[in-house]
Amino acid sequence: MRRGAVDYQKRFGVKHGKRLRLAEIDPAFTDKHGSHKAVQAELDHYQARLRELQELLYVQHRHSLLICLQAMDTAGKDGTINHVLGAMNPQGCRVAKFRQPSEEEAAHDFLWRAHRVAPARGEVVIFNRSHYEDVLVVRVHGLVPKKVWSRRYRRIREFEENLVEHDTQILKFFLYISKDEQLKRFKDRLDDPSKQWKISEADYSERDYWDEYLKAYEDALSKCSTGEAPWFVIPSDHKWFRNLAVARIVVERLEALKMGYPKAPADLNRLQALYKKAARGA
């Protein structure tokens, strides 16, 4: 982080137990940056650093990283994956997409499908939507009674605590856009033949539940943001700032692990001798 810069982890982090009020957050915030061009060099730096850190995570094989992305439609989950997290080597990184539960998933407890795709040591996994759908969509649309979904906050915290105890770093991002910006992005999709497949009538009908979703997000983030598994509310009306904020937070969290390459093998001298022998015979 550059000297004098805003600490994004503190600026956008949600404190556990403190009531989050999304109305107090500006989704168009850009930290005094004026344009995409103004931050491109910084974003390039964080993407390059992210590649380095992911390689260390992979070869050290001691930690794993789980990134959860939640958002209203068009806020940029796919864009964040492509422009920021896409910098990582796919050999050690994968994406798990949470759609409507399959028949098999619905036959298990609500966290089963999350646990089965959680990261192994050395791996980065990105949840495109996540286990939080079970305290968001199901609540807003009344798919289960309140007495059921209200107990899930504790189960989620326990699930994440278990992952942390097994050396998983957890970062959770709510990509926050305004209702007006969402409508603009709907228009962009309608006008762009390469994006028209992304728009549906359901996208418009879900806007009728905007306030209900915000309240559900406020409760979920307030109750399930902890020091070990924090939630961050990322202003996302400007895609380039969203990408910068997410990249910086992920990089800073990985740098805090102070990872290094494994030690050279004990028989390094013999391996060098074998190389010299092979080189002479080449």
Nearest to 196 by CA among 212, 185, 183: 185
Task: Report if residue 135 sits inside a domain.
Answer: yes
Nearest to 76 by CA among 253, 252, 240, 215: 240
Q: What is the CATH number of the domain that holds 127?
A: 3.40.50.300
Task: Report if residue 62 sits inside a domain.
Answer: yes
- State which H helix or E strand residue 97 sits in: strand 93-97
Q: What b-and-e string marks burial along 9-46, b requiring 16 or more CB atoms within 10 Å of the CB?
A: beebbbebeeebeeeeeebebbeeeeeeeebeeebeeb
User: What pLDDT does residue 2 have?
Assistant: 58
Q: Tell me: the pLDDT tens digits for 58-88?
A: 999 999 999 999 999 999 999 999 988 888 9
The predicted model gives 111-120 an average pLDDT of 97
Dist. CA 241–CA 75, nearest whole Å: 12
Nearest to 229 by CA among 91, 77, 66: 66
Give the domain range for residue 225.
Answer: 8-280
Number of structural domains in the chain = 1
Q: Tell me: the pLDDT tens digits for 194-217?
A: 999 989 998 999 999 999 999 999
Task: Report if residue 189 sits inside a domain.
Answer: yes
Dist. CA 81–CA 208, nearest whole Å: 27
Q: Tell me: the pLDDT tens digits for 10-30?
A: 999 999 888 999 999 999 999
If you average pLDDT over every residue of the chain, what do you get? 94
Q: Tell me: the pLDDT tens digits for 132-183?
A: 999 999 999 999 999 999 999 999 999 999 999 999 999 999 999 999 999 9
User: For residue 233, what are the contacts with CB-CB under 8 A and spacing of at least 6?
Assistant: 12, 14, 20, 22, 25, 174, 176, 221
Task: Report if residue 16 sits inside a domain.
Answer: yes
Dist. CA 176–CA 234, nearest whole Å: 6
User: What pLDDT does residue 140 have?
Assistant: 97
User: What pLDDT does residue 226 have?
Assistant: 96
Q: Provide the whole-model pTM.
A: 0.94
Which residue shows structure tokens 């692990």? Answer: 257
Task: Report if residue 3 sits inside a domain.
Answer: no
Task: Report if residue 37 sits inside a domain.
Answer: yes
Strand order across the 64-71 sheet? 93-97, 124-128, 64-71, 168-176, 231-235
Q: Tell me: the pLDDT tens digits for 37-57?
A: 999 999 999 999 999 999 999
Task: Report if residue 161 sits inside a domain.
Answer: yes
Task: Report if residue 258 sits inside a domain.
Answer: yes
